[in-house]
Amino acid sequence: MKTLMRSISVTKRTDDSQGEGIILVSFLLLLMALVIGVSSFYAFAAADYFASLRNEYNHQAFYAAEAGIDQKIVELSKKNTAANMSGTLSTGQYQGTYQVTCAPCTGTGNETLTSTGTIAVNGFNYSRTVRVTLKKSSIFNATSSVAISGVASTSGSVTIDGRDHDTNGNLTGGPGVYGISTSSSTFNQGGSSQVGGNGIAPANPAAPVTYQVNAPAIPATPEGVLGLGAGALDAYKTSTPPATPFTNQIIYLTASWDGVDFNGSSGVLICHNSAGNAFLKNIHGSFKGLIIADDLIHVNGNAELIGAIVGMKTSGVTIGNGSAEVKYSSQVLSALPIVRYTVTSWEDSRNDSL
């Protein structure tokens, strides 16, 4: 009997030990699974976090590469044909750099730009490369010799000729464009002024085909007229009328200019301020190029303007007071000191250092 009790006791202790062992093993397995699960969660979270950071760095590098492309296009529009360009810029909290190559960089069009933007973070470089091809075109495609935003009027004996002329003011034989156009519904031809264009010689009264009413609205800023972004011409701004003659220059006058004597100047002359009331007044002498002004007052006497004129004043402009001549010239406009480049193809590649 005692032997039987001892056997039962031993068996019970053995069963208890086995049960405790199973519980311990189960607990350890559960703990291990929990540790693995938590570790995996943090590992995935960390991987996602670092992937997000890398994505952000690559985006910043892409912005730097784009900035390089934009800056080089600006330089090309100014006829700066240097083959290489580099720069730095702040992209948020990071300092970025760009390296741009241009080939062939002849200024004749069809250039290919390759820009690599780089962001350096904690000893690692994140870079993106953008490659674009460009097409060159004239910065201004005139549809008339004189374009006016408001009511257009001519007076005196001014002659406005939209037929095409060469750089010396001689007819090329091309029909050219309208002599005058206005965004309003009204064109007033006064005095003995003459208007011609679209292959028709200047006359008074002007042939209907030589002028245009209800033309497309003229943008309110010079940048808009030229199809450029806001601020693209800020580097040329001055409040002081230039000395004449100036040759193949871009002048952006933010004040009015009374008593203008071009004296054989050429280039692009802008007369505009934020109020939209800057004027060119009592204009004399010869000028070859493009004039953009809020207002034009008295294109006088011996003035000979070859190229094109844009008047942005919406309340109306009267051109002429004397025997001045305004002649359209595609040759002059194609030779302006600023041109337009448009992107014809785009390629983006990712160059991660990790």
- How many Å apart are CA 104 and CA 111, to the nearest integer? 6
| C-alpha 196 chain-centroid distance | 34
3-class DSSP assignment, residue 173? coil
Residue 301 structure tokens: 């006497």
Burial of 275 (0-12, 13-18, 19+ CB in 10 A): exposed
Domain ranges in the chain? Answer: 73-139+340-352, 144-334
Element (H, E) at 87: strand 84-91
pTM: 0.74
pLDDT for res 44? 56
Helix, strand, coil share (%) of the chain residues, nearest 5: 25, 40, 35
Whether 2 has a pLDDT exceeding 80, the answer reads: no
Render 184-245 in DSSP notation, one character per residue: SS-EEE-TT-EEEETTEEEESSPPGGGEESSPPPPPSSHHHHHT--TTTTGGGEESSPPPS-
Whether 148 has a pLDDT exceeding 50, the answer reads: yes
Is 307:328 a contact under the CB 8 Å cutoff?
yes
Report pLDDT digits (tens) over 257-267: 999 999 999 99
- How many Å apart are CA 131 and CA 209, to the nearest integer? 45
- How many Å apart are CA 85 and CA 64, to the nearest integer? 13
Cα dihedral across residues 205, 207, 213, 218: positive or negative: negative
Residue 131 structure tokens: 């490659």
Report pLDDT digits (tens) over 201-214: 999 999 999 999 99
Backbone angles phi, psi at 221, to 5 degrees: -130, 155
Is 241:257 a contact under the CB 8 Å cutoff?
yes
Is 269:289 a contact under the CB 8 Å cutoff?
yes
In the block, residue with structure tokens 């069963």: 15
Report pLDDT digits (tens) over 318-351: 887 778 999 999 999 999 998 888 888 888 775 5
The residues, ordered by sequence, that sit 6+ positions from 136 with a Cβ below 8 Å of its Cβ are 76, 107, 108, 109, 110, 111, 339, 340, 341
pLDDT for res 56? 80
